[in-house]
Chains A and B, each alone.
Chain A
Amino acid sequence: MKKPATLDIDAILDDQGTRIIVCCGAGGVGKTTTAAALGLRAAERGRCVVVLTVDPARRLAQSMGLTELDNTPRLVSSPEGGGQLFAMMLDMKRTFDEIIEAHADPERARQILSNPFYQSLSSSFSGTQEYMAMEKLGQLRRSDEWDLIIVDTPPSRNALDFLDAPERLGRFLDGRFIRLLTAPAKAGGRSAFRLLNAGFGLMAGAMTKLLGAQVIKDLQTFVSALDAVFGGFRQRAEMTYQLLQAPGTAFLVVAAPERDAMREASYFVERLAEERMPLAGLVVNRVHVSPAPALSAARSAAAAEDLESRGEHELTAAVLRLHAGRMQLTARESREQEHFASAHPTVPVVQVRAMSEDVHDLTGLRQIGDLLATA
């Protein structure tokens, strides 16, 4: 089978036209590490970079010399050559609060921020994280302070929630249901439900039964206040969406050479194509290699068995077993990658070999960057 093209990471990083890199993929495949390694490499190649991460492991933050990441970009490193690396971690509640504070008068802002519905929505609705990640991305892009933004996507329930959530939230907040709920504000404070026809009345009754009257009341307050602040949520979601489709954006799908992760990667690639999002390629992390690839698993196992049956060279037999296991693993990993390549022959791929330790410092990140670029 034809080998897929190699993904040229440096070409992407060096292209001044690349303004946004989005790392997406299943959970646990090393997305955040990849994003940070790309950021460091780009900075060391002279670019002014900010890495926006959604949920980094504490150690990864430490590897960038930061005890804690917060909602403001912090300087990580200014390598020679004029480049700079900043990093920040999305605080979704803070980001949401800031939008409210920036767009509403103080009284209205206070009203929204203290609304229980707002508090839950801004801190625990799973779509909010995706929405705010995209919102933050838009802010960073508009500020134009960095010439490259690298973002890793939230560990979503579903693969492309970060694409769907803004639209979903937008659709909801601009939807008929919301119009219905916000009616009282627009009708001088009279109950929305009294104004509506019998069909809607039934609906309202159902809603009240289901959620409770207090919830409906809180929701009404929330939505009408928010509505005044935001104008069109959907319009905002649309803007972010267009930003992602723009030529300056490059999507990297990150995976590990395991069945689930590769399946998810396939799905991502297909979805991105459907949405006409610019896919740069696939990064396969944690690929195992053997220093002795010439000795196959079968031959190694047979030799071990031979030695064992003769009761000789116990240590060599054990090492041969170990090697057989390693070769079996590499064979399985290649198969998973071949599946992907045959389904998506045009997607460039880069492999990063498995490291025995997690990344602990910039040296480790740099090493990953080297592996990404020279595979």
Chain B
Amino acid sequence: MDSPDTDWAGVRLHVVTGKGGTGKTTVAAALALALASGGRKVLLVEVEGRQGIAQIFDLPPLPYEERKIAVAPSGGDVFALSIDPEAAMLEYMEMFYGMRSAGRALTKMGIVDFATTVAPGFRDVLVTGKTTEAVRRRGRNGRRIYDAVVLDAPPTGRIARFLNVTQEVAGLAKVGPIKNHSELVNNVVKSPETAVHFVTLLEEMPVQETLDGIAELRAAGLPAGGIFVNMVRESLLPQAALDTAVKGRFDAGELVLGLKAAGVADGAEATAMAEALAEEVVEHAHRTELEKAERASLAEAGLKSYELPLLADGVDLAGLYELAESMRTQGAA
């Protein structure tokens, strides 16, 4: 069931990355809800074993198993999967070689521990392998099981390497099963069916990392998707007021009158409060200026950009639905 009216029609694997603290997992979860709405089936995948999805949806820790965790607006299902590299490796061995008991023995020997943590790139291949398998999987009717898969991926600094699996294992495995497997992954990841989205805040460091990440991705021939600007505060003040505030003093006189009129404060108290509030306005104006500059830098990347509101009460289930709705209105899903 394609949705040609969105910006990412035809994309089946949405990879969501971002600098720590930008709300990557939240955005991935909201995107999964948004993509599922209207009766579609979406899988939300996490790979770093942090159980972030369970926390956001207020669920007990997720097992290594696809299970339904939420119903999207106007019908549609979100499934979730927390990929554990060790379990993925055992599954992989069983699937490709029918070696379940050997797998267990290898675990005992510490070989699975080795392969999933020390063998370079192997962990990433397992994780991306499982994810792309879910993307490709078809039901008996020949149709894909999932309309979309959303991957809560490693942070921006690691994303290009994480997705560039063939490069990762190239030095190690020139032939053999890992090589074949990584090529299978590569076919999905580098296809138009994949988009890598960046989550950022309107702050210097996350914006810089986003731009660096996009450049790295492009250099690796991986498909950059959109930019999700998270936690955007709506601007309440008129531009003229912001302009005077940013230049220097914001006149508290008008506020004194207003505070008195509203019955909030009187006399000297009103003056003191107005001055304190004026200070807050000046701070806000400076921040707004900086945000404008960051927005301009982001625009240079030439990607589609979506702004998500700051959730006043923090991230809860209602907040996720709000973000999902916002994504849909903006055409992200």
Same complex origin of A and B: yes
Contacts from A to B (Cβ < 8 Å): 26-29, 55, 57-59, 116-117, 119-121, 124-127, 155, 157-158, 168-169, 171-172, 175-177, 199, 202-203, 206-207, 209-215, 218, 256, 258-261, 263, 290-292, 294-295, 299-300, 303-304, 306-307, 312-313, 315-323, 325-326, 328-329, 332, 356-358
Assuming the contacts A124-B161, A202-B102, A313-B262, asked whether A290 and B280 have C-beta atoms less than 8 A apart, the reply is yes
Query: B237 touching A203 by the CB < 8 A rule?
Result: no
B312 contacts the other chain (CB 8 A): yes
Closest chain B residue to A327 by CB distance? B280
Query: A328 touching B312 by the CB < 8 A rule?
Result: yes
Greatest chain B CB density within 10 A among A199, A258, A291 is at A291
B219 contacts the other chain (CB 8 A): no
Closest chain B residue to A202 by CB distance? B102
B60-68, B115-123, B132-140 - interface stretch: B115-123
Q: Which residues of A contact B273 (CB under 8 A)?
A: 292, 294-295
Query: A27 touching B110 by the CB < 8 A rule?
Result: no
Query: A206 touching B99 by the CB < 8 A rule?
Result: yes
**Once the chains are docked, how many angstroms separate the CA of A117 from the CA of B169?**
10
Closest chain A residue to B174 by CB distance? A214
B279 contacts the other chain (CB 8 A): yes
Query: A214 touching B280 by the CB < 8 A rule?
Result: no
Q: Which residues of A contact B174 (CB under 8 A)?
A: 214
**Once the chains are docked, how many angstroms separate the CA of A218 from the CA of B179?**
15
Say whether chain A's binding surface is mostly helix, strand, loop, or mixed: helix
Query: B21 touching A321 by the CB < 8 A rule?
Result: no
**Once the chains are docked, how many angstroms separate the CA of A176 from the CA of B114?**
11
Query: Which of the residues B115, B208, B312 comes within 8 Å of A59, measured between beta carbons?
Result: B208
Query: B237 touching A124 by the CB < 8 A rule?
Result: no
Q: Which residues of A contact B314 (CB under 8 A)?
A: 258-259, 332
Assuming the contacts A203-B109, A325-B312, asked whether A307 and B20 have C-beta atoms less than 8 A apart, the reply is no
B168 to chain A: closest CB distance in Å? 7
Query: Which of the residues B114, B204, B279 comes within 8 Å of A358, measured between beta carbons?
Result: B204
Query: A212 touching B257 by the CB < 8 A rule?
Result: no
Ordered by A's residue number, 20 sampled pairs between the chains whose C-beta atoms are within 8 Å are A26-B20, A27-B19, A117-B120, A120-B120, A157-B48, A158-B48, A206-B102, A206-B105, A210-B177, A215-B172, A258-B314, A291-B277, A292-B276, A295-B273, A307-B258, A313-B261, A315-B258, A316-B255, A316-B258, A358-B204
Closest chain B residue to A164 by CB distance? B117
**Once the chains are docked, how many angstroms separate the CA of A101 from the CA of B108?**
34
Q: Which residues of A contact B111 (CB under 8 A)?
A: 177, 203, 207
Contacts from B to A (Cβ < 8 Å): 19-22, 48-50, 52, 55, 93, 97, 99, 102-103, 105-106, 109-111, 113-115, 117-121, 123, 154-155, 157, 161, 168, 171-179, 203-206, 208-209, 233, 236-238, 241, 254-255, 257-259, 261-265, 273, 276-277, 279-281, 283-284, 286-287, 290, 312-315
Assuming the contacts A172-B118, A177-B114, A212-B178, asked whether A323 and B155 have C-beta atoms less than 8 A apart, the reply is no
Q: Which residues of B contact A300 (CB under 8 A)?
A: 264
Assuming the contacts A175-B110, A210-B93, A212-B179, asked whether A322 and B281 have C-beta atoms less than 8 A apart, the reply is yes
B143 to chain A: closest CB distance in Å? 32
Closest chain B residue to A292 by CB distance? B276
**Once the chains are docked, how many angstroms separate the CA of A275 from the CA of B238?**
54
**Once the chains are docked, how many angstroms separate the CA of A203 from the CA of B205?**
48
Query: A212 touching B21 by the CB < 8 A rule?
Result: no
Assuming the contacts A291-B276, A292-B277, asked whether A55 and B157 have C-beta atoms less than 8 A apart, the reply is yes
A207 to chain B: closest CB distance in Å? 7
B245 to chain A: closest CB distance in Å? 10
Query: B110 touching A315 by the CB < 8 A rule?
Result: no
Query: A319 touching B277 by the CB < 8 A rule?
Result: yes
Q: Given A172-B114, A177-B110, list of 13 further CB < 8 A pairs?
A: A27-B21, A59-B208, A157-B50, A168-B117, A172-B117, A209-B177, A210-B93, A210-B177, A212-B179, A214-B174, A304-B262, A307-B261, A323-B277
Query: B50 touching A158 by the CB < 8 A rule?
Result: yes
Q: Which residues of A contact B236 (CB under 8 A)?
A: 318, 321-322, 325
A275 to chain B: closest CB distance in Å? 19
A320 to chain B: closest CB distance in Å? 7
Q: Which residues of B contact A176 (CB under 8 A)?
A: 109-110
**Once the chains are docked, how many angstroms separate the CA of A206 from the CA of B123?**
17
Query: Which of the residues B50, B203, B263, B281 comes within 8 Å of A319, measured between beta carbons?
Result: B281
B203 to chain A: closest CB distance in Å? 7
Q: Which residues of A contact B238 (CB under 8 A)?
A: 315, 318
Query: A261 touching B233 by the CB < 8 A rule?
Result: no
B241 to chain A: closest CB distance in Å? 6
Query: B172 touching A206 by the CB < 8 A rule?
Result: no
Query: Which of the residues A57, A218, A260 comes within 8 Å of B172, measured between beta carbons?
Result: A218
Assuming the contacts A203-B102, A316-B262, asked whether A119 and B171 have C-beta atoms less than 8 A apart, the reply is yes
**Once the chains are docked, how many angstroms separate the CA of A317 from the CA of B110?**
65
Q: Which residues of B contact A322 (CB under 8 A)?
A: 236-237, 280-281, 284
Q: Which residues of B contact A211 (CB under 8 A)?
A: 115, 119, 173, 176-178
Query: A303 touching B120 by the CB < 8 A rule?
Result: no
Query: A171 touching B110 by the CB < 8 A rule?
Result: yes
**Once the chains are docked, how many angstroms separate the CA of A295 from the CA of B287?**
22
Query: A120 touching B277 by the CB < 8 A rule?
Result: no
Q: Which residues of B contact A175 (CB under 8 A)?
A: 110, 114
Query: A315 touching B254 by the CB < 8 A rule?
Result: yes
B23 to chain A: closest CB distance in Å? 9
**Once the chains are docked, how many angstroms separate the CA of A210 from the CA of B98?**
12
Assuming the contacts A206-B99, A316-B257, asked whether A323 and B280 have C-beta atoms less than 8 A apart, the reply is yes
Assuming the contacts A206-B93, A259-B314, asked whether A155 and B178 have C-beta atoms less than 8 A apart, the reply is no
Q: Which residues of A contact B120 (CB under 8 A)?
A: 117, 120-121, 124-125
Q: Which residues of A contact B203 (CB under 8 A)?
A: 358
